Amino acid sequence: MTAPADVTAALQAKFAQLSLRPSSDHPAVNVPVGDAVTVLQYLRDEFAYDMLVDVTAIDWAEGASPRFTVVWHVLSTTTHAYVRVAADCASDVEPTAPSVTGLWAGANWHERETYDLLGIKFTGHPDLRRILMWDGYPYHPLRKDFPLAGIETELPDIEVAEETQAKVIAAPMMGGPFVASSGEMNLTEAEPRAKDESWSEKREKSE
């Protein structure tokens, strides 16, 4: 069984531009986005990280540069060990990353979801289109600049919209943001509680 330290040491020896990434659980590395596929293939072929568990991304918020970081989680079904690989997108406006569908076919839907919700375009993807929101939806709901309650949007079906005169309204903000109470108290009372900012169909949203 290969120890996690052996994997990270081998990665550092093989890829000069790779660096260790702070992590509280599994071994993690940062790689240049252009090297991501090569690093992931090396992990798959040389260390039996044969399962792609997840593809996601981080939006560090407007003003941060790099703003977007793509993250891959891979698992070895032989050693039951995980490795996290992260790569910063070169552009803060039109973030891109290489597709790993050539390594794992299951990356297809993972990458589509990341594109849909965070706006990361995966070059080389065979069918990069939205998977949760409809085609033509103008926003990416997991970006930091997308409001918690959502944005009022026209329905995608024009005929339905004209007939019902309805829109996709922003969701009622039932609870949140959450704040912790200060001062000495028992643990139950110290749990984070929601500010009174909820609104619903019966209670209109304050301006």
pLDDT of amino acid 175: 47
E-strand spans in the chain? 19-20, 28-30, 51-59, 68-75, 82-88, 96-98, 121-123, 153-154, 167-168, 178-179, 193-194
Give the tokens for residue 190. 């110290």
pLDDT in tens, 21-73: 999 999 999 999 999 999 999 999 999 999 999 999 999 999 999 999 999 99
pLDDT of amino acid 195: 52
pTM of the model: 0.78
pLDDT of amino acid 161: 72
- pLDDT under 50: residue ranges of the chain: 174-179
Q: Which domains does the chain have, with CATH numbers?
A: 4-132 (3.30.460.80)
